[in-house]
A and B are shown apart, each in its own frame.
Chain A
Amino acid sequence: MKGLLKYIGYRLLSSVVMVFIMVTLVFFLLRVLPGDPVQALTGGKAPPEVVRQLKEQLGLNLPIYKQYFRFFSDIFHGNLGNSIVTGESVKSELLERFPATLELALVSVILAAGGGIILGIESAKREGTLFDFIAKLVALSFYAIPIFFVGIVMQYIFGVKLGWFPISGRIDPLNEPDKVISGLYLLDTLLTRNFEGFVDALKHIVLPAFSLALVLFSVIYRITRGNMILQLKKEYVKAARARGLKERKVVYYHAFKNAFIPIFTLIGLQFASLLGGAILTENVFSWPGLGSYLIDRIGYRDFPAIQGAILFYAVIVVFISIGIDIICALINPKIKYE
């Protein structure tokens, strides 16, 4: 336990350094590479002296090192600056979008993990059979279709032709919860007993979540299958079977428990990466998440927004990966930490 605490301390410290490097890199890249927020904003229409004035207003005429110090002193005051495009505080813009991203990521990870793990285990049990072969072929095939294409086809079939699900957005604007509790509409609508809103939000999330889950599913399936095959060949499994334990218990409890850590780690990392925004899915379904925010603002060279989004994202990734490590350590105390 002491080792673990020390390890977490080390991880936290190095994470701060990592985030610092990341943000610094982005900061300088933005200013060195072509593209300028003022031009992007005025579309090249404003006369040169106006452009100069606007740059001055935004502090973009200062020497880079001064901008850099200003940026960091702002961060230490918990301030990410204001967006150049909208003038709103970047922090509030990010916080407004984060729940959308989180909700989509959660639902798709649950769907994908449910499907991927069960099929992976069943496949591993029947290693080398036709069932296994076909399951794997299906999983790899899902992976091989570009995700935006899956999304568009789903919109067309389930949205327009069959009319089952909405094809864009998080909820019908008129059903939008007035009170924001968690920002997760599925949760908020339930908490406020707004069942109509809940069903509406659920309907909206089906298509984007499923198309996102499809790709994730094949990744999770592969790692589950691989690790389960490894475990099922081990002595303790044979021993358990010999003791006359039910096959179901042997596989789903004993073997899976031992295969769990790599699977869990992978799911955790995939989840973290989804929190950066499932850019393509968000675009297809006009889902108002972090990924589309970042892309949008790159298109305007909105420096504060881009820096803020990257910082925010890096921090989330750090927390999740440390979280994964802690959970793994609690599950399996035998892991040693350097």
Chain B
Amino acid sequence: MVKKRLFALALPMFLLSSAVAGTKKDTVTIGTLDKWKVLDPAKAYDVMSCNLMQNTLVGLYGYKPGSTVPEPALASSVDISKDGKTYVFHLKKGMIFTNGDEITADTVKKAWDRVFKLKGDPAFLLTGVVESYKAKDKYVFEVKLKYPFAPFLSVVAFTVAYPVPSVFPENSFFKGDKYPASGPLMIKKIKRDRYVYLTKNPKYFDYKNVETKKVLIRQYQNAQTIRLALEKGDIDMSSSLTTLDIRDFMTNPKLKEKFRVYVSPSFVISYIVFNVKKKPFNNPKIRKAIAYLVNRGEIKKFAYNDILREDLYSMIPKNMWGYKPVFNKKPDVQKAVKLLAEAGFTKEHPLKINYWYPAGHYGTDVEKEAQIIKSQLEKTGVIKVTVKTTEWPTYLDYMTKGVLGMFRLGWAPDYIDPDNYVYPFLHSKADASLGSFYKNPELDKLIEKARSESDKKKREELYAKIQEYLWKDAPYIPLHQTESAIVADKKVKGVTNDPVYPRYYLLHK
């Protein structure tokens, strides 16, 4: 009764004021689930923080939109010594932050000092390979590496190596949320977990190529609301939708009229890990039998609404040079049953295993994926699978402690190079943190050789060899490579589905 009366009172007032100024016409509004954590290159290691900094700061090296090959940005050129251990960067002159400070070799040095001293989350990417560095001249920055490291320029292009303005304290992480920008955009207004409002940086060196006037990034707590917000017109674009919603935007004629879906391959892969020290997965035959049973196409069709997944047959993604499909392409139940029999498991004496996936962390489709993998393995009649799940931090804890035997993970690269898909997974120095505990001294040598070789042809051959081991020992089963999709209102121009990071500064209406 009463509620109705209240409602009746409230309604006219809202209708009267239908024209709230709100989001202006020249602002492109993006909806996202990702939250930025900390805006400091020395500390940030999460997607959203890095994205924001990549749009507001510049590194010595960067990427052209759409490309994955690092190229000079603040630097004009680099000299690399013959042994591949010394890099001399020549900086462009007159590059400034919005506060007027010039970016010199000394600025870069100070930023690196912070990274080395503060030892934040991503610091290991630099500290692991860099022996020493110095400002040789006002515009010359020299780096010496511990060993030749071919993908070094990709690391330099990552935010951890970016020069920062002087507001970033020497001895502690930056706690603020606004800083003088050097990149195409600057942060105008920002509220944690709610929104970021970016405007054009008038002092950016490449100002004429910045299309954007204003970009508003709104943070949401669930993907469904983002979809509703798109349909309602609250936001213009988003890359945080579920596959189910994306499929709607691709197929529903009414939605297709207003929106466009931009799909492009990404460098994110999904895979199953075996803890090779844990029974029964310490037996390679069992790992291989399972590898023979996984049907990637079926998983894509039923768990991912048949979109945005490409079957992957190596840990190195397809669109990366060096990719060699080493895993079997067609599921082979007979071979699997044979291998299982050799390992001592039959229909009378079945193999009982647990399969783990993290709840919520990779969206809700993984849940379906787990059920499908279970049914694929159980088709043999020789394996019985119990699906288990737990939330992310507990999952990681179990993983590092070796509790998980067979489990699902995903990987987004730190730098675009085959090395980043090989070293962390297969080198004995990196194994523990990724849960397989796999060790192979022969392979270690190959990996080290591949990352220090500078000739791309030779590296390619080495990676082909390395990938053979993947299939031979099967400590991992690659499942899919994901494609990323941006759904955008057709009014929005300059949408590029960039493989490295979203280019907010190209968006405009």
| In the complex, A touching B (Cβ < 8 A) | yes
Residues of A within 8 A of B (CB): 34-37, 39-48, 50-51, 53-54, 57, 85-89, 93, 96, 111, 114-115, 118-119, 122, 152, 155-156, 159-160, 163-170, 172-176, 196, 199-200, 202-203, 206, 217, 282-286, 288, 292-293, 296, 299-301
Are the C-beta atoms of B45 and A41 separated by less than 8 Å?
yes
Q: Which residues of chain A come closer than 8 Å to B21, judged between CB atoms?
A: 174-175, 196
Which one, B20, B229, B393, B414, contacts A299 given CB within 8 A? B393
Instruction: Given A47-B124, A48-B432, A199-B20, check contact A167 B229 (CB 8 Å).
Output: yes
**Contacting residues of chain B (177-195) with chain A, CB-CB under 8 angstroms:** 189, 191-195
Which listed segment binds A: B10-18, B263-271, B299-307, B440-448? B10-18
Q: Which residues of chain B come closer than 8 Å to A169, judged between CB atoms?
A: 194-195, 218
Interface size class of B (residues with CB under 8 A): 35 or more
Closest-CB distance, A336 to chain B (whole angstroms): 36
Task: Tell yes or no: B79 within 8 A of A by CB.
Answer: no
Closest-CB distance, A121 to chain B (whole angstroms): 11
| Interface residues of A, dominant DSSP | helix
Are the C-beta atoms of A96 and B192 separated by less than 8 Å?
yes
Are the C-beta atoms of A299 and B392 separated by less than 8 Å?
yes
Instruction: Given A44-B400, A50-B124, check contact A159 B37 (CB 8 Å).
Output: no
Contact with A along B263-292 (1 / 0, CB 8 A): 000000000000000000000000000000
Task: Tell yes or no: B208 within 8 A of A by CB.
Answer: no
Which one, A48, A173, A301, contacts B195 given CB within 8 A? A173
Closest-CB distance, A257 to chain B (whole angstroms): 20
Are the C-beta atoms of B234 and A167 separated by less than 8 Å?
yes
Are the C-beta atoms of A88 and B189 separated by less than 8 Å?
no
Are the C-beta atoms of A173 and B197 separated by less than 8 Å?
yes
Give the CA-CA distance A93 to B177 in the complex, in Å: 13
Closest-CB distance, A103 to chain B (whole angstroms): 14
Q: Which residues of chain B come closer than 8 Å to A37, judged between CB atoms?
A: 393
Give the CA-CA distance A166 to B220 in the complex, in Å: 13
Give the CA-CA distance A86 to B189 in the complex, in Å: 18
Q: Which residues of chain B come closer than 8 Å to A51, judged between CB atoms?
A: 433
Closest-CB distance, B195 to chain A (whole angstroms): 4
Closest-CB distance, A239 to chain B (whole angstroms): 29
Instruction: Given A174-B21, A175-B21, check contact A36 B393 (CB 8 Å).
Output: yes
Task: Tell yes or no: B457 within 8 A of A by CB.
Answer: no
Are the C-beta atoms of B222 and A175 separated by less than 8 Å?
no
Q: Which residue of A lies closest to B172 (CB)?
A: A87
**Contacting residues of chain B (18-58) with chain A, CB-CB under 8 angstroms:** 20-24, 27, 35, 37-38, 40, 43, 45
Give the CA-CA distance A115 to B1 in the complex, in Å: 8
Instruction: Given A86-B37, A118-B1, check contact A196 B432 (CB 8 Å).
Output: no
Are the C-beta atoms of B393 and A284 separated by less than 8 Å?
no
Are the C-beta atoms of B433 and A46 separated by less than 8 Å?
yes
Are the C-beta atoms of B20 and A200 separated by less than 8 Å?
yes
Are the C-beta atoms of A174 and B22 separated by less than 8 Å?
yes
Instruction: Given A115-B6, A167-B234, A203-B14, check contact A41 B1 (CB 8 Å).
Output: no
Q: Which residues of chain A come closer than 8 Å to B137, judged between CB atoms?
A: none
Q: Which residues of chain B come closer than 8 Å to A200, judged between CB atoms?
A: 20, 22
Are the C-beta atoms of A47 and B433 separated by less than 8 Å?
yes
Task: Tell yes or no: B323 within 8 A of A by CB.
Answer: no
Give the CA-CA distance A300 to B397 in the complex, in Å: 12
Give the CA-CA distance A72 to B197 in the complex, in Å: 38
Task: Tell yes or no: B99 within 8 A of A by CB.
Answer: no
Give the CA-CA distance A312 to B35 in the complex, in Å: 23
Task: Tell yes or no: B434 within 8 A of A by CB.
Answer: yes
Q: Which residues of chain A come closer than 8 Å to B207, judged between CB atoms?
A: none
Which one, B23, B35, B37, contacts A172 given CB within 8 A? B23
Closest-CB distance, B124 to chain A (whole angstroms): 5
Are the C-beta atoms of A47 and B175 separated by less than 8 Å?
no
Of A40, A202, A292, the most chain B CB neighbours within 10 A belong to: A40
Instruction: Given A165-B14, A196-B21, check contact A115 B2 (CB 8 Å).
Output: yes
Task: Tell yes or no: B464 within 8 A of A by CB.
Answer: no
Give the CA-CA distance A202 to B391 in the complex, in Å: 36
Instruction: Given A47-B433, A172-B23, check contact A167 B396 (CB 8 Å).
Output: no
Give the CA-CA distance A296 to B33 in the complex, in Å: 12
Are the C-beta atoms of B396 and A44 separated by less than 8 Å?
yes
Are the C-beta atoms of A86 and B38 separated by less than 8 Å?
yes
Instruction: Given A45-B424, A175-B22, A203-B14, check contact A35 B393 (CB 8 Å).
Output: yes
Closest-CB distance, A168 to chain B (whole angstroms): 5
Are the C-beta atoms of A175 and B393 separated by less than 8 Å?
no
6 contacts between A and B (CB under 8 A): A86-B192, A115-B1, A173-B23, A175-B20, A199-B17, A299-B392
Are the C-beta atoms of A118 and B194 separated by less than 8 Å?
no
Are the C-beta atoms of B119 and A54 separated by less than 8 Å?
yes
Q: Which residues of chain A come closer than 8 Å to B123, judged between CB atoms?
A: 50
Are the C-beta atoms of A283 and B20 separated by less than 8 Å?
no
**Other than the known A36-B397, A45-B414, A174-B27, what 10 A-B pairs have Cβ atoms closer than 8 Å?**
A48-B433, A86-B38, A87-B43, A115-B6, A173-B23, A173-B197, A175-B22, A206-B10, A282-B221, A292-B193
Closest-CB distance, B173 to chain A (whole angstroms): 5
Closest-CB distance, B392 to chain A (whole angstroms): 6
Q: Which residues of chain A come closer than 8 Å to B1, judged between CB atoms?
A: 115, 118-119, 122
Give the CA-CA distance A196 to B14 in the complex, in Å: 11
Closest-CB distance, B383 to chain A (whole angstroms): 27
Give the CA-CA distance A217 to B13 in the complex, in Å: 24
Q: Which residues of chain A come closer than 8 Å to B397, judged between CB atoms?
A: 34-36, 39
Give the CA-CA distance A88 to B172 in the complex, in Å: 12
Give the CA-CA distance A282 to B24 in the complex, in Å: 26
Give the CA-CA distance A165 to B17 in the complex, in Å: 12
Task: Tell yes or no: B394 within 8 A of A by CB.
Answer: yes
Q: Which residues of chain B come closer than 8 Å to A119, judged between CB atoms?
A: 1-2
Which one, A42, A163, A299, contacts B45 given CB within 8 A? A42
Closest-CB distance, A163 to chain B (whole angstroms): 7
Instruction: Given A47-B429, A88-B175, A173-B216, check contact A34 B22 (CB 8 Å).
Output: no
